[in-house]
Amino acid sequence: MHQPWNFESLDALPARIWTELSAAAGDVAHPWRTPVLSTATPSGPDARVIVLRSVDPAARTWTCFSDARAPKMKQASEQPECVWVFYDPRTQLQLRARGRVTVHRDDEVSAAAWAGVPAVNAVNYRRRVAPGIRIGTPSEGWETCGDGESQFGVLRFEAREMELLALNPTGHVRARFLWQSGEGVACWRGTWVAP
Ligand SMILES: Cc1cc2nc3c(=O)[nH]c(=O)nc-3n(C[C@H](O)[C@H](O)[C@H](O)COP(=O)(O)O)c2cc1C
């Protein structure tokens, strides 16, 4: 049962978005659990699906896990500005988010996250061959080594801009929110935009 969306109040939408993101991180069946992360590279944009692992609405952050040797981690450390796209076909809701990521490996953030990785998933970070390296046969990519922790990485994203698009038979609705802070202000400032 999905919690309904109400598009009457612009100001209520940011909280609703964060509620949905938090729900998605804890629900393997939620389509927002597998967003697309787009990063910049010297030769142009790149993008891939990644699992949303944790969400902190108060900090405006979320995290994802990756093999620390994966190209996305190098891209994110060189160019932290990135874009995420979430889509839920059940509600026809798209969320786009812009902000900056930080890459964590062998630090407090990655150690805390690693402590919560189930053994069955830990094997994904024990691969002998780094992601993206050419191999002769698929099984070479399944070979393991080490305990995984030294190859485990966390991407921590801090949102600065969010844009929601709802496709409705009665009329599409699009709203953009920018995080405003300073001089006693800390809130999402929203505006309706043409779909
Ligand atoms: C449903 C799905 C979930 C995925 N989840 C992750 C993930 O949580 N972490 C990850 O690093 N890659 C994940 N991937 C693989 C990435 O999409 C990508 O192929 C891989 O990480 C290499 O990306 P890169 O070369 O841009 O670093 C997932 C792929 C799919 C299809």
- Indicate whether residue 132 lines ligand 1 (CB < 6 A): yes
- Indicate whether residue 38 lines ligand 1 (CB < 6 A): no
- pLDDT tens-digit series, residues 106-131: 999 999 999 999 999 999 999 999 99
Q: What is the mean pLDDT of residues 160-175?
A: 96
Q: Where along the chain do its domains lie?
A: 13-122+150-192
In this prediction, residue 2 carries a pLDDT of 72
Please determine, for residue 29, whether its predicted confidence score (pLDDT) is greater than 70: yes
In this prediction, residue 1 carries a pLDDT of 61
Q: Are 110 and 104 in contact (CB under 8 A)?
A: yes
Q: Is the CATH code 2.70.98.40 the one for domain 13-122+150-192?
A: no
Q: Which atom of ligand 1 is nearest to the CA of 49?
A: 17
Our measurement of the distance from residue 94's CA atom to the centroid of its chain's CA atoms, rounded to an integer in Å, reads 14
- Indicate whether residue 29 lines ligand 1 (CB < 6 A): no
Q: Name which of 57, 12, 31, 16 is nearest 159 in CA terms.
A: 57
Integer-rounded Cα radius of gyration of the chain:
18
For residue 125, count other CB atoms closer than 10 A to its CB.
22
Task: Name the residue at shortest CA distance from atom 10 of ligand 1.
Answer: 66
CA 5 to each of CA 57, 92, 134, 140: distance values in angstroms, whole numbers, following the listed order: 18, 11, 45, 46
Q: Ligand 1 test: best mutation among 28, 36, 49, most atoms within 8 Å of CB?
A: 49
The rounded distance, in Å, linking the Cα atoms of 36 and 49 is 4
Please determine, for residue 4, whether its predicted confidence score (pLDDT) is greater than 90: no
CA–centroid distance, residue 135 to ligand 1 (Å): 18
The rounded distance, in Å, linking the Cα atoms of 151 and 147 is 9
Please determine, for residue 148, whether its predicted confidence score (pLDDT) is greater than 70: yes
